[in-house]
Amino acid sequence: MKFVNASVVMSSLLFASFAQGQSSLKDRAYSVITTRCLSCHTNTFATNKVINDEKVKNKAERMIARIEAKNGVTPMPPDQSSQSEAFTDLEKSELLSYLKTLVSTPEPELELEPSVSAPSTDAIVPLSKLKVEDGFKIEVFAQARGARSLAVHPSGIVFIGTGGFSNVDPEGRVHAIVPTTTGNVVVTLAKDLKNPNGVALQGNDLYVAESSRITVYKNAVASAKALALNNEAEVPAALVVKRDLRVQDEHHWKYIAISPDNKLYVGIGADCNVCSEDRDVGASIFRMDLNGKNYEQVAKGVRNTVGLTFHPVTGQLWFTDNGRDNLGNNLPGDELNVLKSPVQDYGFPFCFASNVTDKDFGAGTDCNSSEFTKPIRDLGAHVAALGLTHYTGSTFPAKYKNATFIAEHGSWDSDFKVGYRLTIVEETVTAGKASYSYRPFVSGFATQQANWGRPSDVKNYIDGSLLLSDDKSGVVYKISPK
């Protein structure tokens, strides 16, 4: 392992104090972070190589989940890492004890079987802090803990996957929001799943992607309706469609989408920040029949796609891709990509965004070569662009038709908070050449140093509005014209 000099000095001092029983709980915890984490995650926990209290606090919830390693969360450190042998039970205990002092006491868990959503007031989330594009408003549509990926049925029922690291649902649930005459009722369609992040609908059937498999709940729409009326209604058993998705430590949550020609698409992220791995196995997008057969690669060199959608006019796959970490605050940008023909190569691990050649793996690589497909638009560095959709409703002004909306989950590998917003990408064609503008549409989920929300996915709703999920606040918002 490589250690910075400041870390070695700090480590020696802190361990000396620990041995004498004179150090505080915070000192002992910082000692563990210094010796076990800083060599690989300097920017995550430190500013100018000095541990930053605010950064540690912001990562506390995630670290607690990984240390406790419950419900399929990747352990910290991973079991096979060289650090695992040196990371003692005492160190884990000291670090865990301190981190729990940083996490505010959570609100009582929402009753999900069933529950009518609360009114859209600042008592739930501080909506007054949000800045929305002129002419639009945002309100709370429903509450669902850990809300991430969304799937909307024509009946108005919304299915919600949970997973990832921010306010992850400890019970591994899939929620459904069911409209009723008395309001939106939130029910639990499934639970005890391993990071059930991805959700997609085919007719009335719901496909759910966990860390290593994809299942389908037949006639999930009827089940959701029954649950909303009767808490004892039976939920059908999940039928396994694909059970051998790659098990990995990094980027293990899966995102799925179903194409207009009824193919099921799934992204398999790189099992690393950046590395030379088998790009026919990971760092790729695959598709299969709805029964899991005919599994094939359709795109490669994709570090970690965390949002898949199909253009309403062209039918082409559009997807986001998160850039690598540890290149500073400004590099590289996340990507908005389009798949026009199989199997296009998007550059990982050699190239990132439109103009970044990787310092570790890009030597001798011409990233301007026709071998690689560039993004149609570079997004912000470290914004963590996740779910996306094209607007297909009829209530927004005409200029928004088919515009691309992207939920930006927000940064961790940056000295300042970036992302934490809903953005819009609009196409302009001049002399037959397309260009793409990019700007915030809803912002205010974070200041430069702290955040209260994390946008995760965005979908069209049946009334012409947009729905936006927020896994940190456990809320689904509704965005509509004033």
Q: What is the mean pLDDT of residues 95-115?
A: 55
Cα–Cα dist 479/468, whole Å: 8
Q: What is the mean pLDDT of residues 86-102?
A: 77
pLDDT value, residue 23: 56
* Rg of the chain in Å (alpha carbons): 22
Segment 423-439, tens digit of pLDDT? 999 999 999 899 999 99
pLDDT value, residue 86: 56
Mean pLDDT of the chain: 86
Strand (E) or helix (H) holding 186:
strand 183-190
Report the half-sphere exposure of 122 (CA within 13 A, side-chain side).
Answer: 5
Q: For residue 305, what pLDDT band results from cuts at 50, 70 and 90?
A: very high
Best CA proximity match to 319, nearest among 290, 294, 340, 292: 340
Segment 34-77, tens digit of pLDDT? 888 877 777 778 777 788 887 788 777 777 777 776 544 455 65
Pair type for strands 296-300 and 344-345:
parallel
Please report, as a single letter, which amino acid is at residue 93. Answer: S
pLDDT value, residue 5: 42
140, 213 Cβ separation under 8 angstroms: no
Please report, as a single letter, which amino acid is at residue 425. Answer: V
pLDDT value, residue 170: 82
Cα–Cα dist 295/160, whole Å: 25
pLDDT value, residue 144: 94
In a 3-state reduction of DSSP, which class is residue 7?
helix
**Long-range CB contacts (< 8 A, 24+ apart) of 421-428?**
421/383, 421/445, 421/455, 422/455, 422/458, 422/468, 422/479, 423/379, 423/383, 423/385, 424/133, 424/400, 425/336, 425/377, 426/399, 427/402, 427/403
Q: For residue 456, what pLDDT band results from cuts at 50, 70 and 90?
A: very high
pLDDT value, residue 234: 76
Q: Cα angle vertex 213, ends 207, 218, to 5°?
A: 30
Segment 183-211, tens digit of pLDDT? 999 999 999 999 999 999 999 999 999 99
Please list, in sequence order, all residues whose beta carbon lies within 8 angstroms of the beta carbon of residue 105, skipping any fewer than 6 positions away: none
Q: What is the mean pLDDT of residues 320-336?
A: 93
Token readout for 224 is 């959701």
Q: For residue 467, what pLDDT band results from cuts at 50, 70 and 90?
A: very high
Segment 222-238, tens digit of pLDDT? 999 999 988 677 777 89
Q: What is the mean pLDDT of residues 390-402?
A: 97
pLDDT at 109 over 50: no
- Residue 244 carries which DSSP code? -
- Where do we find the tokens 């207009």? 260
Best CA proximity match to 466, nearest among 385, 396, 384, 383: 396
Cα–Cα dist 255/304, whole Å: 10
DSSP-assigned beta bridge partners for residue 470: 455, 475
- Where do we find the tokens 């300097």? 42
In a 3-state reduction of DSSP, which class is residue 211?
coil
State CA 109 to chain mean position distance.
22
Q: Is the dihedral of CA 412, 273, 253, 257 positive or negative?
A: positive
- Among left, alpha and beta (phi > 0; psi -120 to 50; other), residue 103 is beta
pLDDT at 380 over 90: yes
Q: Cα angle vertex 227, ends 224, 233, to 5°?
A: 120
Token readout for 361 is 């793996």
Reported residue count of the chain is 482
Cα–Cα dist 334/382, whole Å: 7
pLDDT at 82 over 70: no
Token readout for 328 is 């500073």
pLDDT value, residue 1: 38
Segment 254-264, tens digit of pLDDT? 999 999 999 99
Cα–Cα dist 296/101, whole Å: 47
- Among left, alpha and beta (phi > 0; psi -120 to 50; other), residue 71 is left
140, 119 Cβ separation under 8 angstroms: yes
- Residue 164 carries which DSSP code? S
State CA 413 to chain mean position distance.
14
pLDDT at 18 over 50: no
The lowest-confidence range among 11-25, 288-302, 333-347, 416-430 is: 11-25
